[in-house]
Structure 1
Amino acid sequence: MIEIDEPWRAAHPLPLPTGEVDKKSRGRVLVVGGSARAPGVVRLTAEAALRAGAGRVRVATLASAATLVGVLSPELGIVALREADGEIAADAAPLREQAAAHEAVVLGPGMGSEHVAAQLIEGLDAASAAQTSLLLDAAAATCAREEGAALRGWEGRLVLTPHQGEMARLLGRGIDDVRRDPGGAAGEAAARYRGVIVLKGTDTIVADPDGTMLHLAGGGPGLATGGSGDVLSGVIAGLLARGLAPRVAAGWGVWLHGQAGRALAATAAPIGWLARELLPEVSRALPR
């Protein structure tokens, strides 16, 4: 297992913008998610993508929450989606065209329904979005176990970010099995779904379908707070949009997220801070 340490980061440097730079050249991210239960989570993911260096981020979310998200974060573009029973309506999202216009799509933050997430995945068209990477989080990650065929077209540009409980559901195992052998579980999932797996925990493992595994000791107990994983998804998506390969984007995203947690632990307290406080720390951790 390869540590995400200084030598690894030096061997996989983040690209710095050069020459004529505009929002498009810095990469575009589409964040799809939200529910009546968690309407603000998409804001964390979207702002994290901007903090990781993406040039433009658009949020597709419930119509009832869309305006508020846009007002709270005026840097974001907004797509208001039809809703049903507190979730995005499965047939309401004009996502095929939207996905093709972005370098990275995050699907799942704040969503509670695996059924809806699965239908939204099926509504995407990997062929028409040939230059787009797809990151599945929360309900969209766990529904992948039923969507193997729909995900085949995303091979080579797919990232899943489950925590240990979600990993157990993905593999149809007990959570104790995952805890006993997280590396084995992550490697099995990467091979099965043909995507990069980011298994979140006290230690985080990044598994590539080719068998490569990266490891980072956690950024401290403060990261075990609501919304922290949604920030991580946004950071990785921002790096995908900037042109990094999925494994490298995941490795750097995990490291930046951990660095942000360590910075807050040093300046505030080991625990007690909020996920949104990670956002400026992500920017500060970017290489100069």
Structure 2
Amino acid sequence: MSRASVRLDSAWIAAHPAPVHGDGTTKNSRGRVLVIGGSAMVPGAIRLTGEAALRAGAGKLQMATVAAAAISLGVVVPEAGVIALPAGDGGEIAPEAAASLAKSCAGADVVVLGPGMGDDDVAGRLLDAILPEAGAETLFLLDAAAITAMAERDMILNPLRGRIVITPHHGEMASLTGMSPEEIAEDPETVARDIADRFGAVVVLKHSRTVIVAPAQDPLIYGGGGIGMATAGSGDVLAGAIAGIASRGAEPCVAAGWGVWLHGQGGRRAATARGPIGFLARELPEEFPHLLPQ
């Protein structure tokens, strides 16, 4: 049965507040995010994701990436712990690197897998290996190559129902579903709902009009942050914004809504301050603290 859509706007944000942390809050109680990704070709992607998570209020951050990028990443983001992983022949994280992630996965409230990764086979093998290491309540946010890797993993992902958020653009959704981007654009709400029901996931289908669908809930529709958001790295920032809110204790759908809203409103603020096009993805997280509740 079709469902009416709901606008993701300031009224929705007011009705679904982000977690508020009072006196006695520690960095651990504000939430722990682990970001796994990057590659020799895209070594800085998880910097965008990690900084966005911190700017959205996460208390602790770890980033795991190929060893060649790890030291420089740690210098650029001194607030984070960095895990250096072996790389395979193609410059992607080697699948056997999962053994180095067991302790970090067990201690994370949110695990983000995929930013900066281009090989869905590698992403899938990492996913297979780290799932058993995660905590019983850990949320998984899958992005980029990790989304395509879901296609043949219904069984292994079944125990995570209710604890998955995915952030595909239309091309990644096409790879996951076997549909064309044009077919997805014709009815994105239905496509997103089918995937949400299939995996028990919150689906954030990114486009100029972003659709957020959770199982058995009305779809949320966000009108977009403007043409300047169509820039490299913007999706990596969105993944971090959602992860940061989720790590603080928000339910997955609320975290997705807040992440999309922070991301889009951050783009609108950047467009006002810098011009409608030409601002950088790494500038978006700087706007988040201005938009978060006190």
TM class by shorter chain equals: over 0.9
**What's 2:273 paired with?**
267
Alignment of 1:181-220 (within 5 A): 181-220=187-226
1:125 offset after TM fit, Å?
Answer: 3.0
**What's 1:49 paired with?**
53
1:146 offset after TM fit, Å?
Answer: 1.6
**What's 1:91 paired with?**
96
- Conservation of the 8 A alpha-carbon contact between 2:102 and 2:133: no
Structure 1-normalised TM-score?
A: 0.97
Q: Following the alignment from structure 2 to structure 1, what is the Cα–Cα distance between the partners of residues 134 and 82?
A: 22
**Higher mean Cα deviation, 103-112 or 166-175?**
166-175
Q: Following the alignment from structure 1 to structure 2, what is the Cα–Cα distance between the partners of residues 57 and 103?
A: 10
SS in 1 for 2:286: helix
**Higher mean Cα deviation, 214-223 or 121-130?**
121-130
1:127 offset after TM fit, Å?
Answer: 7.4
Q: Following the alignment from structure 2 to structure 1, what is the Cα–Cα distance between the partners of residues 217 and 287?
A: 31
- Conservation of the 8 A alpha-carbon contact between 1:63 and 1:82: yes
Q: Following the alignment from structure 2 to structure 1, what is the Cα–Cα distance between the partners of residues 133 and 161?
A: 11
Structure 2-normalised TM-score?
A: 0.96
The letter for the 1-side match of 2:76 is L
- Picking from 10, 15, 20, the partner of 1:16 is 20
Where in structure 2 are there 5+ consecutive unaligned residues? none
The count of corresponding residues between Structure 1 and Structure 2 is 288
Q: Does 1:164 align with 2:175?
A: no
- Conservation of the 8 A alpha-carbon contact between 2:107 and 2:134: no
- Picking from 253, 260, 269, the partner of 1:247 is 253
Q: Does 1:106 align with 2:102?
A: no
Q: Following the alignment from structure 1 to structure 2, what is the Cα–Cα distance between the partners of residues 212 and 220?
A: 24
- Picking from 58, 61, 74, the partner of 2:62 is 58
**What's 2:81 paired with?**
77
Q: Following the alignment from structure 1 to structure 2, what is the Cα–Cα distance between the partners of residues 137 and 129?
A: 20
Q: Percent identity?
A: 50
**Higher mean Cα deviation, 4-13 or 212-221?**
4-13
**What's 1:152 paired with?**
158
SS in 1 for 2:30: coil
- Conservation of the 8 A alpha-carbon contact between 1:157 and 1:246: yes
**What's 1:132 paired with?**
138
Where in structure 1 are there 5+ consecutive unaligned residues? none
Task: Please give the root-mean-square deviation of Cα atoms over the aligned residues, in Å.
Answer: 1.1
1:95 offset after TM fit, Å?
Answer: 2.4
**What's 2:34 paired with?**
30
SS in 2 for 1:84: coil
Q: Does 1:284 align with 2:290?
A: yes
Q: Following the alignment from structure 2 to structure 1, what is the Cα–Cα distance between the partners of residues 137 and 73?
A: 27
The letter for the 1-side match of 2:74 is G
When residues 133 and 141 of structure 1 are mapped into structure 2, their CA distance, relative to the original with a 3 A threshold, is: same
